[in-house]
Amino acid sequence: MMQNDLFSKSEPKIEALCDGVYLLRQFIEPELFYNQIMKMAKISPFRRMMTPGGKIMNIAITNSGDVGWYSDRKGYRYLPLDPLNAKPWPPLADFMIKAAKQAAQKAGFKNYNPDTCLINCYQTGDRLTPHQDKNEQDFSQPIVSMSLGLSAIFQLYEEVRGGKPKNILLDNGDVLVFGGPARRYFHAVKKLEKDNHTLTGSKRYNLTFRKAL
């Protein structure tokens, strides 16, 4: 009995959604990550970036790590310095890297070495349109995605943009590992519904750990 209980806690369930995509529900300690984000945002604040086409994105973004994902008129790319303060992005905390590696390991990705984390902040009505993540060098490395606060529906398409997506509900503390053949699949996040969460209020945060360089 006792041993069974301990086992179920140390071996959380992992759900395979398709080849390369795995969901680990309630895998992280949300408060720990939320507090860390708030600390990092004092150095590199959340800001709404400009698309290469000149539109202002809804979702507010910041980064942590050796480089940070950035978008402006010059395009999408990774930058070693935050253009807002001309300083390095706040470093990845050890516990963040450890959790991301543990999630990747559980999904079968042995040599995962993230060097950056993109942090998205969604407010009521914000959505993420279908896209592929392709600004990274090495597609054999998965992306580890962590959700905090309000729930959202993640939509997973196949390699082509059209067709019916698989809808995946991402809750506070859930971790999605996104690799293998699915690493190039289109995906989106549905409009954030108006709601209130004890940790994040009216917001949802998403952290995506990547090996960019």
Residues that bind Fe ion (CB under 5 A): 133
Q: Could you give the 3-state DSSP secondary structure of residue 51?
A: coil
Q: Work out how close the CB of 148 gets to ligand MD6 at its nearest, in angstroms, rounded to a whole number.
A: 10
Q: Which is nearer to ligand MD6, 37 or 143 (CB)?
A: 143
In angstroms, what CA-CA distances link 44 with 41, 80, 85, 129?
Answer: 5, 13, 8, 25
Indicate which of ligand MD6, Fe ion, none lies near residue 36 (CB less than 5 to 8 Å, by partner kind): none
Residue of 40, 97, 208, 212 that binds ligand MD6 (CB under 6 A): 208
Q: Does 143 bind ligand MD6 (CB under 6 A)?
A: yes
Q: Which residues contact 123 (CB under 8 A, 6 or more apart)?
A: 58, 60, 192, 202, 203
CB of 176 to ligand MD6, least distance (A): 5
Out of 121, 189, 192, 212, point to the residue binding ligand MD6 (CB under 6 A).
Answer: 189
Chosen residue from 178, 192, 211, 212 binding ligand MD6 by CB under 6 A = 178
CB of 72 to ligand MD6, least distance (A): 19
Name the phi and psi angles at 108, rounded to 5: 95, 10
| Binding-site partner at residue 189 among Fe ion, ligand MD6, none, CB < 5 to 8 Å by type | ligand MD6
207 binds ligand MD6 (CB under 6 A): no
Which token pair is 45? 């604040």
> Token digits for 124?
């009521």
The answer to whether residue 104 forms part of the interface with ligand MD6 (CB under 6 A) is: no
How many whole angstroms separate alpha carbon 114 and alpha carbon 81? Answer: 17
Reference 168, options 180, 181, 159, 177; nearest CA is 177
* Exposed/middle/buried for residue 84 (C-beta within 10 Å: 0-12, 13-18, 19+): exposed
Binding residues for ligand MD6, rule: CB under 6 A, are 120, 128, 133, 143, 145, 154, 176, 178, 187, 189, 206, 208
